[in-house]
Amino acid sequence: MILTVTLNAALDITYRVPRLRPHATNRITEVSERPGGKGLNVARVLAALGHRTVATGFVGGGTGEALRALLAETAVTDALVPVGGATRRTIAVADTATGDTTQLNEPGPVVTPAEWDTFLGTYRELLGEAQAVALCGSLPPGVPVDVYARLTRAARSAGVPVLLDTSGEPLRRGLAARPDLAKPNADELAALTGSTEPLRAARDARRRGAHAVAASLGPAGILAVTAGGAWQAAPPRRIAGNPTGAGDSAVAGLLSGLVEELSWPDRLTRAVALSAATVRAPAAGEFDTATYEELLPRVVVTDHPTAA
């Protein structure tokens, strides 16, 4: 079983408009709702790949009820912990003329100490049967900033590999707990290290504690720096569409590859193909199967053997 943690889950709402016009009335042509937050997106992709997946984190209020109802329609097992506050909403406005997306994210519910203790008990219990765990996304109000470091140490004590996908201070502190893999994007990596050169920044991030770092570079693919070497994988062509959730699909590719004991080049190939195929999908947490199957044998992997 693969466990995903989404402390700041969301009800993802996507509006499609013919052309987004600021300061004007925009008529929506299509509305879709999905269970969201980075870890839930990862869980849905993992389940689509055939992995038994359990999702935990916090959920509450009317939006939380709607999220759980939608999650029940998927193959993901719901182990979310109820809270008194309401689950946040994220609003994506997709401009079908340009392909651009505007994102609006609410902050999330305040988590009380008692609710946090309940979650910790659930998390430790689930670790007992997990093959790997993904710790993903932002933190809701009331959760300590070093939470991912705590959860990483708990997983490592249980012998469970950890993938960390967050940003800012939670990422910095989480790295010090030595996760098996950190997966920042280029901006998050630059903010962490002060370097805009991806290879140098990834090496710096790895020195801060992560056993391996896989950095999402947008259309340029993914760069991984590990103890055994470094590789960059890129799609054979630029894929047009909505990039929301592409990084989450990359996490699913990397985590499934870890569980299946694939080589690093094969993990990166899968992650890049899934990420690109998500750009062609209607919403985060999904990928276009035809695009994925087309790209999988065509992803280009470059070896940087002296970079680790």
Strand partners, 230: 225, 304
- Taking the CA atoms of residue 262, residue 263, residue 264 and residue 267 in that order, the dihedral angle to the nearest 10 degrees is -30
Gap between the Cα atoms of 163 and 210, Å rounded: 9
Residue tagged active-site, from 12, 165, 180, 248:
248
- State the pairing for strand pair 222-226/229-234: antiparallel
Gap between the Cα atoms of 3 and 101, Å rounded: 29
Q: Are 274 and 289 in contact (CB under 8 A)?
A: no
Q: Other CB atoms closer than 10 Å to residue 139's CB: what's the count?
A: 19
Q: Annotated catalytic, 248?
A: yes
Strand residues in the chain grouped as ranges (E): 2-6, 10-17, 30-36, 53-59, 77-78, 81-82, 88-95, 101-105, 132-136, 162-165, 181-182, 213-216, 222-226, 229-234, 300-304
Q: At residue 194, what are phi and psi to the nearest 5 degrees?
A: 80, 0
Q: What residues act catalytically?
A: 248
